[in-house]
Amino acid sequence: MDNKRELISKAMADFLEIPADVVLDLPKLTITGRNELYLENHKGIIEYSTSRMRVNLSRGYLEINGEGLEIQALMPDEMKVIGEIDSIRYLD
Amino acid sequence: MASRFSDRVGGFISLRLRGQYQEKIINLALARGIYIWDIKRDGEYLYLKVRNSGYEAFKAITEEHGFELEILKRDGLPFYRKILKRRIGLLGGAILFIAALYLVSSFVWFVEVSGNQKVDSTVIIASAARNGIYPGASKWSLSRIEAEEAMLRELSELSYVECDIKGVRANIKVVEKILPDTQVNGPCDIVAQRDGVVEDILVLNGRANVQKGAVVVKGDVLISGVFTPTPPMEGLPVDPNAITEPTLVRARGLVQARTWYEGYGEAKRVQEETVLTGEKYVRFVLKTPWRVVDVVGAGDVPFASYEQLERAWSGPGDWGWGWSEYREQEVKVTQFSENEAVEAARQNALANLKDSMEGNVKIMDSRLEVLSSPSDSIVRIKIFVEGLEDIGTPRAIEASEISS
């Protein structure tokens, strides 16, 4: 059921050329250099330490590895992470 | 992203959190809409910042889940209030200072007049004072336009008044009326107002009494206002309606004449001037009831000739201070050659002469005569100037003149 709705939403978004992050609640990442990450549409924090961070998404989660990670700002659906970022991975 | 400025205004608290699964607290805070930032982990501690308004709610969450919470620092405007309370005098002084500055600057302290030539400044200032612009007048109660209009009504010699109030300074700009010459109404002659040789005559109304080249003295009639009709030529029929009696008109016209002026001027051959060399010597003393202490500079002034500036203050008892500045002076002697001195004297004489000339005199020629002997220290000269000007001035025709 959910899968069907998602497919319809995606088709609508494609057809109407509406950004997917708005319609499908997909995460949107903005990375400046390797020290600053801005993430929209997150669903909370699963794990946080200075070297590894996992952020819940609408589907799956995002893993950020690095050094000296710090959450500079945290709001209900957006967050800004600073620190030396090594890798970003999507996981299910 | 919340602005740092609003965080500062509302105040914020730096916290330290200890306990297991700290992510849970972060997510709970997030779910309840508590804004937290600068989240940093250091070992078993989690450092974060929370707004003053969200602190109680955040504290409730941590207590509920058995976390240890410690306040590290309070920051922002609400916490400065405590500091300000301690320094109420400073705050009061600052407010008082600003208020005093504002109060003082809302008065007019200086009134200046510009643009007047014939009307005395004191008359204008007195008129402005009657209409509300005077030193000490409050700016909020005076109406610039009303004052300008009232001044224009009061001073009939002015054609325009503008009061420009800048800060504490009121500048009154005026433009004077150019009044026409005192008019002679009714029949008149044009007479010479000074001696001269007529160069050119233009009659607009009346009859020319002199011709080009005529030598006239002051008071001579140049253009007559008595108009005598020419008698009819012999042999022609006499027109019974013709006017035979002399008629009186208001004579008008221009009479350009060469006039002469004589002036005197002098200049010194040797000029002595006292100038400052730029060397300075400063002395500052402190006066105590026991002795006078030299703070800066002691001993005699090292200059032979000097100018002295002094400032001193005497307080209660024998306390006080004195400050003196000595500026070295020297006499500068300038020697002028005879030609230079004569030229200076000539300029001097011309300037004097111009002051005494009335109206628009065009200088055609000038000649000078040196009165002093070459050995004199002062050159004296006499200057003769030939000018070209309109010498005519109206004069009413008297009854006796008509009968003759």
| Residue B25 contacts A, CB cutoff 8 Å | no
The pLDDT assigned to B185 comes to 73
Q: Render B207-227 in DSSP notation, one character per residue.
A: EE-S-TT-EE-TT-EEEESEE
Return the CATH number at A61: 2.60.40.2000
> Which among A48, A70, A75 has CB closest to B23?
A48
- Nearest CA-CA partner of B187 in B404, B399, B403: B399
The pLDDT assigned to B283 comes to 86
The pLDDT assigned to B285 comes to 86
The pLDDT assigned to B139 comes to 85
For chain A positions 14-43, those within 8 Å of chain B (CB to CB) are: none
For residue A80, being part of any structural domain is answered with yes
B151-155, B329-333, B353-357, B390-394: range with lowest mean pLDDT: B353-357
The pLDDT assigned to A53 comes to 93
- Domains of chain B in start order, with CATH, are 12-81 (3.30.70.260), 107-176 (3.10.20.310), 184-269+336-404 (no CATH), 271-331 (no CATH)
CB pair distance less than 8 Å for B27 and A44: yes
* Average per-residue pLDDT for chain B: 85
Question: Is residue B90 pLDDT above 60, yes or no?
Answer: yes
> Which among B31, B36, B40 has CB closest to A70?
B40
For residue A17, being part of any structural domain is answered with no
Q: B76 vs chain A: nearest CA distance in angstroms?
A: 18
Question: Is residue B67 pLDDT above 50, yes or no?
Answer: yes
Positions of chain A with pLDDT under 70: 1-2
For residue A46, being part of any structural domain is answered with yes
B14-28, B61-75, B196-210, B366-380: range with lowest mean pLDDT: B366-380
Question: Is residue B236 pLDDT above 60, yes or no?
Answer: yes
pLDDT average, residue stretch B80-98: 87
The pLDDT assigned to B171 comes to 92
For residue A5, being part of any structural domain is answered with no
The pLDDT assigned to B1 comes to 44
Question: Is residue B303 pLDDT above 50, yes or no?
Answer: yes
Q: How many CB atoms lie within 10 A of CB B172?
A: 25
Residue with tokens 């050119």, as numbered in its chain: B200
For residue A59, being part of any structural domain is answered with yes
Confidence label for B62 from pLDDT (cuts 50, 70 and 90):
very high
The pLDDT assigned to B157 comes to 86
The pLDDT assigned to B403 comes to 52
pLDDT average, residue stretch B25-53: 90
Give the residue on A whose Cα is nearest the Cα of B22: A48
The pLDDT assigned to B207 comes to 85
Question: Is residue B2 pLDDT above 70, yes or no?
Answer: no
B383-393 pLDDT per residue, tens: 898 989 888 88
For residue B297, the one-letter residue type is G
CB pair distance less than 8 Å for B39 and A48: yes
pLDDT average, residue stretch B345-373: 82
Give the residue on B whose Cα is nearest the Cα of A69: B40
For residue A47, being part of any structural domain is answered with yes
For residue A12, being part of any structural domain is answered with no
Question: Is residue B181 pLDDT above 70, yes or no?
Answer: no
The residues that bridge with B384 in the sheet, in sequence order, are B262, B367
Question: Is residue B176 pLDDT above 80, yes or no?
Answer: yes
Residue A66 belongs to domain spanning: 25-91
DSSP-assigned letter for residue B232:
P
Give the residue on B whose Cα is nearest the Cα of A46: B23
Give the residue on A whose Cα is nearest the Cα of B4: A73
Confidence label for B378 from pLDDT (cuts 50, 70 and 90):
confident
For residue A11, being part of any structural domain is answered with no
pLDDT average, residue stretch B78-95: 85
C-alpha to C-alpha distance for B46 and B23, rounded to whole angstroms: 10
The pLDDT assigned to B330 comes to 87
C-alpha to C-alpha distance for B234 and B221, rounded to whole angstroms: 31
Confidence label for B16 from pLDDT (cuts 50, 70 and 90):
very high
| Residue A51 contacts B, CB cutoff 8 Å | no
Q: Which of B23, B25, B27, B49 to mutate to test the interface with A (most CBs of A within 10 A)?
A: B23
Confidence label for B4 from pLDDT (cuts 50, 70 and 90):
confident
Question: Is residue B240 pLDDT above 80, yes or no?
Answer: no
Number of compact structural domains in chain A: 1
Q: How many CB atoms lie within 10 A of CB B347?
A: 12
pLDDT average, residue stretch B163-184: 82
| Residue B38 contacts A, CB cutoff 8 Å | yes
Residue with tokens 């924090």, as numbered in its chain: A45
| Residue A73 contacts B, CB cutoff 8 Å | yes
Q: Provide the CA B235 distance to its chain's centre, in angstroms.
A: 77
Size of the A and B interface in Cβ pairs below 8 Å: 48
The pLDDT assigned to B182 comes to 60
Question: Is residue B69 pLDDT above 60, yes or no?
Answer: yes
C-alpha to C-alpha distance for B100 and B200, rounded to whole angstroms: 71
C-alpha atoms less than 13 angstroms from C-alpha of A46 in its C-beta half-sphere: 15
Give the residue on A whose Cα is nearest the Cα of B25: A45
CB pair distance less than 8 Å for A76 and B30: yes
